[in-house]
Amino acid sequence: MSTDAISTLTAEMPSRPLVARLHEWVTTVDHKRLGILYILYALFFLVIGGIEAAIMRIQLIRPHYNFVSPGLFNQMFTMHGTTMIFFVVMPLLFGFANYLIPLMIGARDMAFPRLNAFSFWLTAFGGIFLYFSFLGANGLYGAGSAPDVGWFAYAPLTSQTFSPGHSTDFWTLSLLVSGFGSIGTAINIIATVLCMRCPGMTLGKMPLLVWLNLVMAVLVILAVSPLTAAQVMLLVDRYLGGHFFDTQAGGSAVIWMHFFWIFGHPEVYVLVLPAFAFISEIVPVFSRKAIFGYPAMVAASICIAFIGMSVWAHHMFTVGMNSNANTFFVLTTMAIAVPTGIKIFNWLATMWGGKIHFKTPMLFAIGFLFQFLIAGLTGIMLGVAPFNWHLGNSYFVVAHFHYVIVGGILFAAFGAFYYWFPKMSGKMYSEALGRLHFWLFVIGFHLTFDFMHIPGLLGMPRRIYTYEPGRGWDTWNLIVTIGVFFQAAGILIFLGNLLWSYFRGETAGSDPWDAWTLEWSTSSPPPEWNFPVVPVVRSRRPLWDLKHPSDPDWKYE
């Protein structure tokens, strides 16, 4: 009876008017729809941020080139950095967390569905507000001016003296607003994970993805709060006569750096832990083996979060801290390599002895492992403070963190897209297009970011709109720019693949990967209530237990 009512309702859905369907997306509190909204929002800004990057790379294709003005170039790198961190990677990862966590812990929604919707719309408003600066920064006086203070907006460049008008205010307010959204989502994730797990799922039986997102959510609260505080102080400085960062009145520019980086470095782990989470799900399934060393993986994640709170000043080795402070931050920075290394070794051990299926998600996971290894090693070089006195603020550091964010996090996120696309859409993506995307992106990525290290070693600082000839930087910059076009082609193939597969793809079925976590036990896409019957689990891989009743996991855990 009830099933009939449901199928009638489902059958009627497509015939409802477009406005009504869109209205549902706006008013929804369903974690899956909000997750998809986050992801679509992030994809939109990924394209925008990518265009900004391309503009910068064209400007730098040769010395003394005049493609854009210095002012516009400075706006481009400010907007590119702010957009990619706050309005691409964070929403993307929050989107997957939103979509997957309830499904993976056998819950029917997040703990606070309305807070969830509120958080998304705050984040969405923040991004739109930031981009409104292109149009409206001077209000009624005409054309706008986007912020041009850099994504870490060092004082006193942000003071009224050096940044008149409202461009810096757009930056401050948009991050303030989206920051509240992030904190809301973090609270929601913590409450969901702690309170909504299905019967049998103790903390020690949660999928690693859930664990890593739990740690990420704790870090968001710890990291975004100081940023929010700093933004409020900056607003007080700019409009209420405060002198926190106003160096002309005795304020401290260095205090802003501390505030920003005690947000900024944990933020790196906020972004990378969910990427670890994707890899920790994809690698076992496509190697056909249980994750190696689950307790060590959980411990390493918590360890990364702890140490990650005490490394921030390695972004400040050049600001003139005394030798004791520099030495301390060298130690913490190098220490964090240990738990990170443990993770890489465990993933490799998971692959070792398996039967690896080289589907697109696994290709991206292998790309992640390779690139994240290099990113970690250049990170160790940067952690060597005297080496950092050269490398910091050079193109080497730009190459390093793009290796982390693109080569690591974005590759993992692409893997996640292909892995969970069948679950979210009910359709299978095109494997051929997926591979094409992978190879184009690998080529583009390595052309751009491998060769970007070299001008840094040859003394090229970041954030310069042009450079002098005769410094030995020309060829490297040309190669770096060429790589951008391969990456752009890869992204277009990716978006095309998503669209084509959504409308024309084959039906995926509930469990196309023969996987082991709970989200694959329900239909694709899952019904609004996720599970017809709340599942009961006995191990970390409930579907393995179902598929291998004679040799279930719970015997060994």
Partner 1 sequence: MAGQRPLGLAEELMARSLVNCEKAREMGDRSSTNWRTRFAVQVIVLLCLPVGALAAPADPSFSPTNIFAPVSTPAHSIFGLSLFALAVTAAIFVIVFSLLVCCVVKFGKRADDDGREPPQVYGSNQVELAWTVIPILIVVVLFMATARVIASIQKAARPANAIQVIAIGHQFWWEYRYPGLKVVTANELHLPVSDPGHPTPTFITLLSADTDHSFWVPRLAGKTDLIPNHPNTMWFDPQQTGLYLGQCAQYCGTQHAKMLLRVYVQSGDEFNRWIEEQSQPAHASAAVSEGQRIFETTACINCHAVAGTAADGRFGPDLTHLMSRETIASGAAPNTPENLRLWIQNPDAIKPGSKMPAMGLSDHELDAVTAYLATLR
349 counts as binding partner 1 under rule CB under 8 A:
yes
Question: Based on CB atoms, which residue is closest to partner 1, 127 or 383?
Answer: 383
Q: Of residues 460, 491, 493, 498, which one binds partner 1 by CB under 8 A?
A: 460
Question: Based on CB atoms, which residue is closest to partner 1, 118 or 154?
Answer: 154
Per-position DSSP letters for 258-283, written without gaps between them:
HHHHHHHHHHHHHHHHHHHHHHHHHH
459 counts as binding partner 1 under rule CB under 8 A:
yes
Q: Of residues 9, 194, 377, 499, which one binds partner 1 by CB under 8 A?
A: 377
What is the distance between the alpha carbons of residues 71 and 516, in angstroms, rounded to a whole number?
52
Q: Of residues 138, 393, 510, 523, which one binds partner 1 by CB under 8 A?
A: 393
444 counts as binding partner 1 under rule CB under 8 A:
no
Crossing angle of helices 31-59 and 474-504, rounded to 10°: 150
Q: How many residues does the chain have?
A: 557
Tokens found for residue 298: 């959980």
Cα atoms found within 13 Å of the Cα of residue 178, Cβ hemisphere only: 23
Stretch of residues binding partner 1 (CB under 8 A), selected from 130-138, 402-410, 453-461, 483-491: 453-461
Query: Is residue 372 within 8 Å of 407, Cβ to Cβ?
Result: yes
507 counts as binding partner 1 under rule CB under 8 A:
no
Tokens found for residue 13: 């859905």
Q: Of residues 450, 511, 519, 545, which one binds partner 1 by CB under 8 A?
A: 450
Q: Of residues 164, 199, 204, 386, which one binds partner 1 by CB under 8 A?
A: 386
Question: Based on CB atoms, which residue is closest to partner 1, 227 or 366?
Answer: 366
Tokens found for residue 351: 């692959």
370 counts as binding partner 1 under rule CB under 8 A:
yes
342 counts as binding partner 1 under rule CB under 8 A:
yes
Question: Based on CB atoms, which residue is closest to partner 1, 172 or 326?
Answer: 326
Tokens found for residue 97: 């967390």
Tokens found for residue 429: 């993506």
What is the distance between the alpha carbons of residues 116 and 370, in angstroms, rounded to a whole number?
35
Stretch of residues binding partner 1 (CB under 8 A), selected from 180-188, 273-281, 304-312, 549-557: 549-557
Residue 81: which residues within 8 A CB-CB, separation 6 or more?
Answer: 150, 151, 152
The site string for partner 1 over 144-163 (x = CB under 8 A, - otherwise) reads ----x-x---x-xx---xx-
- Three-state secondary-structure class, residue 257: helix
Question: Based on CB atoms, which residue is closest to partner 1, 142 or 470?
Answer: 470
The residue with tokens 């900024």 is: 264
Q: Of residues 198, 224, 369, 409, which one binds partner 1 by CB under 8 A?
A: 369
Query: Interface residues for partner 1 in 164-203 (CB under 8 A)?
Result: none
Q: Of residues 28, 74, 185, 425, which one binds partner 1 by CB under 8 A?
A: 74
310 counts as binding partner 1 under rule CB under 8 A:
no
The residue with tokens 């402070």 is: 325
Question: Based on CB atoms, which residue is closest to partner 1, 10 or 327?
Answer: 327
Classify residue 481 by its DSSP letter: H
CB of 338 to partner 1, least distance (A): 5
Query: Is residue 184 within 8 Å of 119, Cβ to Cβ?
Result: yes
Query: Interface residues for partner 1 in 465-504 (CB under 8 A)?
Result: 465-468, 470-473
What is the distance between the alpha carbons of residues 108 and 122, in angstroms, rounded to a whole number?
24
Q: Is 321 exposed, middle or buried (0-12, 13-18, 19+ CB in 10 A)?
A: middle
Question: Based on CB atoms, which residue is closest to partner 1, 427 or 541?
Answer: 541
Query: Interface residues for partner 1 in 199-258 (CB under 8 A)?
Result: 247-248, 250-254
322 counts as binding partner 1 under rule CB under 8 A:
yes
Number of residues engaging partner 1 in binding (CB under 8 A): 98
What is the distance between the alpha carbons of residues 353 and 79, in angstroms, rounded to a whole number?
45
